[in-house]
Amino acid sequence: MLDNFKKILILAPHTDDGELGCGGSIAKFIEDEKEVIYMAFSTAQTSVKSDFPKNILEVEVKKARETLGIPPENLIIHNYPVRRFPQHRQEILEYLIKINKEIKPDLIFVPSLNDIHQDHQVIAREGLRAFKKQTIFGYELPWNNIVFETRCFITLEKRHIEKKAKALGCYKSQKHRSYLNQDLIWSLARTRGGQVEGEYAEAFEVLRLVFPSK
């Protein structure tokens, strides 16, 4: 099925969300020569610890992009204020509608609709509104998901998870975050792989499924 999807858009509320939710799949898509566009909506400057420069997350997401193999021109960074996305909901929706017309992706990844973070909720819901005719998968961030329906699995090889882990390792300023623990990254990939009798996988909610013509 994935062979039919040629242009893939990753919507990350904050830098590192996309890598956390589908970094292994991104590595696989790049390996399969699909076009991947990564869009981060905030570099969370007000949340950066005082011993790092305010733009550190922009620097780190560029390193992560390089690690995964996403072309530099396919990384789009915005600076919406962290934890304030609901105030910008309509602006974000109109921007995504514009992007849909310009990029025309056929597969979009957003946070889960059950994600409890207010910024993540906005990107998930406005993404669902903006991309009405395309396939949309919701990615997993377990620390924010009280409920997550594992309706779709993308099976992965060890090398894909290695790239995901390496990309997340680029976020030195966030190493205090428990969700960036390397053991957690690997154990979740193994758990999802085990659910489908494989070695590694990432799981997704199916928000809309449309099969594009080849």
Q: Which residues contact 9 (CB under 8 A, 6 or more apart)?
A: 36, 37, 39, 99, 103, 105, 107, 108, 109
Predicted local confidence at residue 112, as pLDDT: 98
Q: What is the pLDDT of residues 10-61, one digit of tens each?
A: 999 999 999 999 999 999 999 999 999 999 999 999 999 999 999 999 999 9
**What domain range includes position 24?**
2-208
Closest to 93 measured CA to CA, from 49, 63, 42, 127? 127
SS3 37: strand
Predicted local confidence at residue 4, as pLDDT: 87
Q: What is the pLDDT of residues 159-193, one digit of tens each?
A: 999 999 999 999 999 999 999 999 999 999 999 99
In a domain, 117, yes or no: yes
Q: Where are the beta strands (DSSP E) in 133-184?
A: 135-139, 152-156
Residue 156 pLDDT class (50, 70, 90 cuts): very high
Residue 65 pLDDT class (50, 70, 90 cuts): very high
The domain that contains 106 carries what CATH number? Answer: 3.40.50.10320
In a domain, 214, yes or no: no
**Domain total in the chain:** 1
Residue 210 burial by Cβ neighbours in a 10 Å radius (0-12, 13-18, 19+): middle
In a domain, 172, yes or no: yes
Q: What is the pLDDT of residues 198-207, one digit of tens each?
A: 999 999 999 9
